[in-house]
Structure 1
Amino acid sequence: MPVDDLHKWLTHLVASYLEKDPDEISGSVSLATYGLDSVYAFVMCGDIEDHLDVRLEPTVAWDYETIDALADHLSSLVEQP
């Protein structure tokens, strides 16, 4: 999956957790700044695993703390066609 598609999908996912418009979410702002807590980080990890069919460490949201960093990391895990 291209990194741009991952970025868009992650932005919408985070926006849905926070009940915000995706346009209010910046890819360069840490997820913790938006108030994404450990419960949401754990749920997000599961949603990413289901969507991309990959296994992740539950700390992935803290290891890659912005949508930009997370999308870059995930794109390296998913095979490109």
Structure 2
Amino acid sequence: MTDAALREWCLEELARLLDRPVAEIRSDATFASLGLDSANSVGFVLSLEERLDAELDPELLGAYRTLDALLDHLASQGLA
């Protein structure tokens, strides 16, 4: 999966979880400011694990507080 494709998938998944239009999801906004709560965070990480076919740390969104930071981390790990 390319970086661009993963970014697009993440934006769409966050929009789905938050029941918001994709256009409202900014990749530089913190997950908390987007309204992602702990239940949605777990759901997002589980969906991301399935999409990447990789096991991820459940605390990932606490360490990488924006989608941009998360995607940079995943790329540095060879997952994006």
State whether TM-score is above 0.5: yes
The alpha carbon displacement at 1:72 in A equals 1.6
Change (3 A) 1:36 1:4: same
Q: C-alpha displacement at 1:6, in angstroms?
A: 1.4
Q: Which moved more, 1:69-78 or 1:8-17?
A: 69-78
The change in CA–CA distance for 1:20 and 1:79 in structure 2 (over 3 A counts) is closer
SS in 1 for 2:45: helix
**CA distance 1:28–1:79, change in 2 (3 Å):** closer
How much does 1:78 deviate?
3.6
Aligned twin of 2:63? 63
What do residues 24-74 of structure 1 show as CA deviations (whole Å, max 9, x unaligned)? 111000010011011111111111111101111101111111111111222
Question: Which structure's residues are more often helix, by fraction?
Answer: 2
CA RMSD of aligned residues (A): 1.5
* TM-score of the pair, normalised by structure 1: 0.88
SS of the residue 2:31 aligns to:
coil
Does 2:41 match 1:41?
A: yes
Q: Give the gaps of 5 or more residues in structure 1.
A: none
The count of corresponding residues between Structure 1 and Structure 2 is 80
| Structure 2 unmatched ranges of 5 or more | none
Q: TM-score, normalised by structure 2?
A: 0.89
Deviating 4+ runs (over 2 angstroms): 75-80
Q: Which of 1 and 2 has higher RCO (CA within 8 Å, sep 6+)?
A: 1
Assess if the C-alpha contact under 8 Å between 1:27 and 1:68 holds in 2.
yes
State the identity as a percent.
32
